[in-house]
Structure 1
Amino acid sequence: MRLVTFTPPSSPPRVGAFSNNDKTIVDLAAAAAEIFPNDDASDFVSMLALIDGGEAALARAYELCDRAITWGVDRALHARTAVRLEAPLPNPRRLRDCACFLQHLRNARLVRHTRLAAREDDPEAALERYRAAGALDVPDEWVAAPVYLNSNHLSVIGPDDEAVWPHGARRMDYELEWAMITGRAGTNITTADARSYIFGYTIFNDISARDIQAIEIRSGAGMGGPGKDFDAGNVFGPCIITADEIKNPYDLAMCARVNGEEWSRGNSGMMDHRFEDVLAHLSKNQTVHAGEVFGSGTVPTGCGIEHNRYLEDGDVIELEVGSIGVLTTRITKPADWRDRESPDQN
């Protein structure tokens, strides 16, 4: 099932499912009211409620979708073009972005230190010094287990929203990621059992301000902070595809286009740490709850920094992941956008 959160005209957000090659959306609550008017439909008031409803709620959603289409329940059917598509899970209980693709980190470090070396009298020698010092290497701890940063789960937007260029940022970037949504709670989950905790998957564009992020990295604060945490910085969509719909989640083609030009291409199978590894590692001694989102990190070549290319005001980013679909986002500077006074140092 391809689940969405959408807003019809003059209505609050609704939970639905794509049908007819994503051209039609079945409103699950409206279908329940028409088909089973005496039943409790509280599982369909939000995507989080549907996830919390577990297997029984998902089975009802399948039945409602099938009957609404077969019976022609017009009140429950919306044309995709007639509604606003929101982030499929607008209010995740928690959002963590994991470093599952280690080659991305190696690529990004090489570009960063090549930029730094270019400022010295002998750039080639400077780059070799960085290499010899291990500056281009991924830490052993990151190889041994998936590390993560806590992203802002209160700043989530969807396909029909614009990403807002933050004040003071000069080098804006996209990140081609996919994400896993948990379907039930667990502690000390084993890798062997982890797949049963996965509700579904979506596409994740982790918008990043690279020059601001560089300031955070130099301070020793890590990769997060203001370079990642700003309004409209986490983009999800176009849907959540339930885990049962994907036979092999680790063979999904991944592609990014900017204004129609391909910038990035990879595959979900390039993950060094799979989502099962993530759940096993991050559930040690702590409960992982239903409705949490775990980002994959960026697929190799999956962002501008790996190519030393960055976004411009008004650019349209398309992230495509096999089986899930295409997530399209425009990034724009606000009319009152203000630069910062400090120069770039990275």
Structure 2
Amino acid sequence: MRVRTVGSGETSAVAAWHETSQQWIDLDAAAQALDPGARGEATRGVLAFLAARERGRDTAASLMDRAVAENVAVVTPTPTRPLQPASLRCFMGWEQHWSQAAHQLVRRNIPAAMPFIRGVEMVTRKDFPALRPGASFADHPMYYTGNHLTILGDGDVVPWPSYSDLLDFELEFGMIVDRPLRDATPAQGADAIGGFVVFNDLSARDTQWDEQRNGSFGPVVKTKTFASSMGSVVVTADEVLDRLDDLSASVVVDGETWSSTGTAGLRWGPGDTVAYASRGEDVFPGEMMTSGTLPSGCGLELDRWIAPGNTVTLSIDVIGSVTNTIGAKA
């Protein structure tokens, strides 16, 4: 089921998509008009709705059918962030993305090294060692902790960071945890995912190069923390988990398709990533974990660069999309 937030503050509510009529229904308004006993946290907040699982979806389906029949609580939502994540953990899902991005970073910043790198790769028939993921990638999921307080909503303008001249998008999906867990198994990790959303992990690529070579904490500090964005629509996990390895995806900039890609080849499944995050620590409802960039899902890999005024739409089949316009340089 597809859900989103309508309204704001004390008047916010959950809207759900009624497939048959192709309309959004305000579940709280529908409950108030048709079944006051159904009103509660699950009709007012997306996280509570996800946590209600099948019971919440069944209640929503019944309310929507009645609302459509009586023509009440139909809404036309404006883009907004569906919830404020309690934390942000960004995983690396596809080795192909890492390899392509690493090669392009070197090609852009140390072009004289590329003939030697290509020569080694021709002989070994493997990626140059320094341009592969770390050895841990084959052993367990890998992630960094992002800034959950700077996540923008669908439709928001992306503020260009004052310290960067090279801004980039990254096409990912986010997984929203809706129940607590600790030291979980992969099955328990998958079961703790309430919903999926499209995520744009924005990056300052010139800063990334400097942090990678000269910093003490790797290339994910000021490179990443200034902003990211998430779609308006959250899709419940029952709609996504069984088909997550075979979804098409795209990047469209100002109406032009820059990349057509997909989710095939994900190294670690959703349950593995959530379980790893819970190893030796508590994971709480409302935390969000992202997939890492889909192959050819960023401008760095494509060697195509966004500029102020561009409108960027990242889409993943079944899950949805996120659209943002790039703001002026500071």
In 2, the alpha carbon distance for the partners of 1:275 and 1:20 equals: 26
Per-residue Cα deviation, 1:68-106 (whole angstroms, up to 9, x for no partner): 223322xx1112xxx4221222x1121111001121111
Give the aligned partner of residue 219 of structure 2: 223
- Cα contact 2:97–2:296 (8 A) shared by 1: yes
CA distance in structure 2 between the aligned counterparts of 1:297 and 1:307, rounded to whole angstroms: 16
- CA distance in 2 between counterparts of 1:132 and 1:256 reads 26
CA–CA distance in structure 2, aligned partners of residues 170 and 279 of structure 1: 34
Cα pair distance change 1:39/1:116, threshold 3 Å: closer
Aligned mates of 2:3, 2:40 — CA distance in 1: 16
Which structure 1 residue ranges, 5 or more long, are not aligned? 338-346
Is 1:3–2:6 an aligned residue pair?
no
Change (3 A) 1:160 1:7: farther
Are positions 1:144 and 2:143 aligned together? Answer: no
Residue equivalent to 1:343? none
Match of 1:34 in 2: 33
For residues 117-136 of structure 1, the C-alpha deviation after alignment (integer angstroms, 9 at most, x for no partner) is 32x4x752376579997221
After the TM superposition, which residues 111-190 of structure 1 pair with which residues of structure 2 at under 5 Å, given as runs?
A: 111-118=104-111, 120=112, 124-125=115-116, 134-190=129-185
- Distance change >3 Å, CA 297–CA 70, structure 1 → 2: same
Deviation for aligned residue 1:168: 2.1
Who is 1:67 aligned against? 66
Q: Distance in 1 between matches of 2:173 and 2:127?
A: 33
Aligned partner of 1:101 in structure 2 is: 94
SS at match of 1:84: coil
Tell me the secondary structure at the aligned position of residue 170 of structure 1: coil
TM-score by length of structure 1 reads 0.85
Question: 2 CA distance for matches of 1:205 and 1:146?
Answer: 20
Change (3 A) 1:270 1:22: farther
Counterpart for residue 272 of structure 2: 277
- Secondary structure at the residue paired with 2:229? strand
Structure 2 alignment gaps of length 5 or more: none
TM-score by length of 2: 0.89
Structure 1 residues 18 and 38 mapped into 2: Cα distance closer, same or farther (>3 Å)?
closer
Code of the residue aligned with 1:4 in structure 2: it is R
Q: In the alignment, does 2:316 pair up with 1:321?
A: yes
Query: 1:176·1:205 contact (CA, 8 Å) conserved in 2?
Result: yes
Structure 1 letter corresponding to 2:14:
V
CA distance in 2, matches of 1:248, 1:144: 24
Stretch deviating more after TM superposition (44-53 or 300-309): 44-53
- Would the alpha carbon gap of residues 37 and 123 (structure 1) be closer, same or farther in structure 2, given more than 3 Å must change? closer
> In the alignment, which of 74, 78, 93 is matched to residue 77 of structure 1?
74
Higher helix share: 2
Tell me what 1:242 maps to.
236
Tell me, in whole angstroms, the C-alpha distance in 2 between the residues paired with 1:22 and 1:287. Answer: 41
> CA separation in 1, counterparts of 2:315 and 2:21?
15
Change (3 A) 1:206 1:113: same
**Deviates further, 49-58 or 303-312:** 49-58
Deviation at 1:298, TM superposition (A): 0.3
User: Alignment identity in percent?
Assistant: 30
C-alpha separation in 1, matches of 2:328 and 2:10? 29
Aligned amino acid, residue 318 of structure 2:
S
Counterparts of 1:156 and 1:215 in 2: how far apart (Å)?
24
Per the alignment, residue 202 of structure 1 pairs with 197
SS state of the match for residue 168, structure 1?
A: coil
Q: Distance in 1 between matches of 2:208 and 2:3?
A: 33
Compared CA separation, residues 22 and 168, structure 1 to 2 (3 A): farther
Matched AA of 2:307: E
Which residue number in structure 1 is paired with residue 303 of structure 2? Answer: 308
The verdict on how the C-alpha distance between 1:234 and 1:124 changes in structure 2, with shifts beyond 3 A counting, is: same
User: Which of 243, 247, 254 pairs up with 1:252?
Assistant: 247
Are the aligned partners of 1:103 and 1:300 in contact in 2 as well (CA < 8 Å)? Answer: yes
Supply the distance in 2 between the matched residues of 1:243 and 1:30 (Cα, whole angstroms). 25
1:22–1:109 distance in 2 versus 1, CA, 3 Å:
farther
CA distance in 2: counterparts of 1:84 and 1:262, whole angstroms: 24
What is the total number of aligned residue pairs between the two structures? 324
Q: How far, CA to CA, are the matches of 2:41 and 2:117 in structure 1?
A: 62
CA distance in structure 2 between the aligned counterparts of 1:132 and 1:54, rounded to whole angstroms? 44
Cα deviation, residue 185, structure 1:
1.6
Q: Distance in 2 between matches of 1:317 and 1:132?
A: 31
CA distance in 2, matches of 1:105, 1:242: 29
SS at match of 1:276: helix
CA distance in 2 between counterparts of 1:200 and 1:41 reads 19
